[in-house]
Amino acid sequence: MAFQRRRNSYYNRLRRLLPLICAFSGALLILFALLSVFSPPPDVSDRRISKQINYGGNDQKKSIPVVFRVPTSGGRSDRDIWRSWNADLFYGCCNASTKFPNAKSITRSDRYLAIATSGGLNQQRTGIVDAVVAARILNATLVIPKLDQKSYWKDASDFSHIFQVDWFISFLSKDVKIIEQLPPKGGQTWTPSRMRVPRKCNEKCYINRVLPVLQKRHAVQLNKFDYRLSNKLRDDLQKLRCRVNYHALKFTDPILKMGNELVRRMRLRSKHYIALHLRFEPDMLAFSGCYYGGGDKEKKELGSIRRRWKTLHVNNPEKQRRQGRCPLTPEEVGLMLRALGYGSDVHIYVASGEVYGGEESLAPLKALFPHFYSKDTIATKEELEPFASYSSRMAALDFLVCDESDVFVTNNNGNMARILAGRRRYFGHKPTIRPNAKKLYKLFLSKENTTWEEFGSRVRTFQKGFMGEPKEVRAGRGEFHENPSTCICEDTITDGKSKEGGGMDSRKLGKKNKVSNGEQKEDEDAEWSSDYEEDQTDLHDRGLFNGTRLDYEDISSDDPELEEMLSD
């Protein structure tokens, strides 16, 4: 009985305490709920997330906070960010050999070749360079090329407004006879027969297709002359290409004077500067078929521009990005440069037309590099007025500032980028950075899942082979205007020291060293990807253009509908 009474007493006390226990538990639950509601959210600016890390041989994973925070400085670098490795061992060499006959001995007096170029300034420049070589192949007198005045910009400039005619004629006098206009025929103006040649037409192609017409008609004009000469020619013709491109083509004095003044003003601001060809204009993005997360507004705006090209098929935007065919955003360009070692104190000159998204798109880049300039910010409206109505002359000013920059960054492999890349290789391999967009794409997508240190390390790894270094691209690869390997010589090395002459001004002609044709080490990132090159060729062959108001590729094709549209 006593045991029964003790048990009943225990249960009675328990029943009395049960409400208190429930009330206490309820209060704790309410307290936790209030804490979860009113506690401050994580600091978004720090972008704090969790990352699983495996410690050596221990299979146990631990979650620790990781912060992706961009530093203001470029940090330590294992290289000189303003120079290319061993650049002083390489120099431009394009003198004609003793076996290259003088123009007087091979030019036929009854053959005249005229050229009508196509596109913007830099695309026309390729046509002018190749026209000289075509005239040499045909043993013809070249008439000063006609510039395209009917394409997108309606620029009325002719050759003499952009380039020094007398210098052009005199410098090339031993290579090709050049005249300013066709002589009269029978006391009347001579109208040449007009024709076109296929893209990448080689020496045999010109002899088979053009020479018979030239022999019969005596004067021929090749129309839509852009990329109409093969990349693969014998060395003496390749060197002639270089003599034209890097020495015979000089801008007129007004352009040179203003361009050099812009360079001087950039140098007054800083010892070094970067020139960035941004290529983030609405028409560029519309043509590329890329998408940048702007929702229905972006799709509608770019879609309306895209409808200009009736033969342009609809691309998969995600696939375009994965394959590296989309320009980086201004922010992505800025992050890449910071990872490569360029701090916020670096001065940047931007060559660009209207940027899609305006100041909102540029804000992240300007935050990373506040010393941000363009020709419109370092020159007055009055100074630019003589050039402002002519897109080619404005493009020439940007060309000069970009060419003289310590580092040139191109966001898309267009005409200006290719011409400048080749020119900078020829004149001392000044750093020319082209984003490895195919590799960087995935890295930018996952950047918030890594630390800045890891991000920067991977950027530097991916950019190997995309920095404009000597021997970065194998001889014969890519467009010749971009990789003029035949015209780049290398000093031999003895006991770790270059022979005398290695430090001479690379802009001088006449050095006799042979071009190094040794096998290059193959590296996945050191070559331009073949699919990228094939894509670029395909764009040209389909007659499409990807461009900006600086470097608009008004490329012709065999599509009559597209040609008619482009000629409007």
What is the per-residue pLDDT across 346-389, written as a single tens digit (0 to 9) for each? Answer: 999 999 888 888 899 999 999 999 999 999 999 999 999 999 99
Same domain, 274 and 143: no
Better pLDDT: 539 or 88 = 88
pTM over 0.85: no
DSSP β-ladder status, 90-92 and 488-490: antiparallel
Instruction: Count Cα atoms within 13 angstroms, Cβ side, for 209.
Output: 17
Does position 568 have pLDDT exceeding 90, yes or no?
A: no
Same domain, 276 and 148: no
Better pLDDT: 302 or 106 = 106
**pLDDT reported for residue 151:** 74
Same domain, 218 and 260: no
Same domain, 344 and 463: yes
Window from 302-311, 468-477, 545-554 with minimum mean pLDDT: 545-554
Q: Which two tokens stand for residue 96?
A: 């004609």
**pLDDT reported for residue 553:** 34
Q: How does the average pLDDT of the chain come out, rounded?
A: 80
Last residue in a domain, options 458, 488, 518: 488
**pLDDT reported for residue 228:** 95
Same domain, 272 and 241: no
Task: Flag whether 5 is in a domain.
Answer: no
Question: Is the separation of the CB atoms in 411 and 333 below 8 Å?
Answer: yes
Same domain, 275 and 205: no
Same domain, 426 and 340: yes
pLDDT band of 99, cuts 50, 70, 90:
very high
Task: For residues 342 and 74, give the distance between their C-alpha atoms in angstroms, rounded to a whole number.
Answer: 5
Rg (CA), the chain: 31
Better pLDDT: 334 or 536 = 334
Q: Which two tokens stand for residue 124?
A: 């026309």
Per DSSP, the three-state class of 10 is helix
**CATH number, domain containing residue 364:** 3.40.50
Task: Flag whether 518 is in a domain.
Answer: no
Task: Flag whether 107 is in a domain.
Answer: yes
Q: Which two tokens stand for residue 66?
A: 């990781």
Task: Flag whether 225 is in a domain.
Answer: yes
Does position 344 have pLDDT exceeding 50, yes or no?
A: yes
Last residue in a domain, options 196, 230, 250: 250
Last residue in a domain, options 439, 459, 488: 488
Task: Flag whether 550 is in a domain.
Answer: no
Does position 122 have pLDDT exceeding 70, yes or no?
A: yes
Task: For residues 256 and 451, give the distance between their C-alpha atoms in angstroms, rounded to a whole number.
Answer: 46
The percent of residues above 70 in pLDDT, for the chain, comes to: 73
Task: Flag whether 272 is in a domain.
Answer: yes
Same domain, 232 and 273: no
Same domain, 115 and 235: yes
Does position 460 have pLDDT exceeding 90, yes or no?
A: yes
Does position 537 have pLDDT exceeding 70, yes or no?
A: no
**pLDDT reported for residue 358:** 87
Does position 43 have pLDDT exceeding 50, yes or no?
A: no
Same domain, 368 and 405: yes
Query: How many domains in the chain?
Result: 2
**pLDDT reported for residue 11:** 56
Same domain, 260 and 339: yes
Does position 325 have pLDDT exceeding 90, yes or no?
A: no
Question: Is the separation of the CB atoms in 549 and 354 below 8 Å?
Answer: yes
Better pLDDT: 472 or 179 = 179
Residue among 123, 128, 161, 160 nearest 390 (CA): 161
Same domain, 154 and 109: yes
Q: Which two tokens stand for residue 147?
A: 């510039």
Does position 494 have pLDDT exceeding 60, yes or no?
A: no
* pLDDT one-digit tens code per residue, 284-322: 888 888 888 888 888 888 888 887 777 677 678 888 888
Task: For residues 36 and 21, give the distance between their C-alpha atoms in angstroms, rounded to a whole number.
Answer: 23
**Host domain of residue 271:** 254-280+327-488
The residue type of 437 is A
Q: Taking the CB of residue 13, how many other CB atoms lie within 10 A of it?
A: 9
Task: Flag whether 230 is in a domain.
Answer: yes
Does position 339 have pLDDT exceeding 70, yes or no?
A: yes
Region 49-70 average pLDDT: 46
Window from 71-85, 103-117, 304-318, 443-457 with minimum mean pLDDT: 304-318
Window from 179-183, 421-425, 444-448, 520-524 with minimum mean pLDDT: 520-524
What phi and psi, each to the nearest 5 degrees, are found at residue 83?
-140, 155
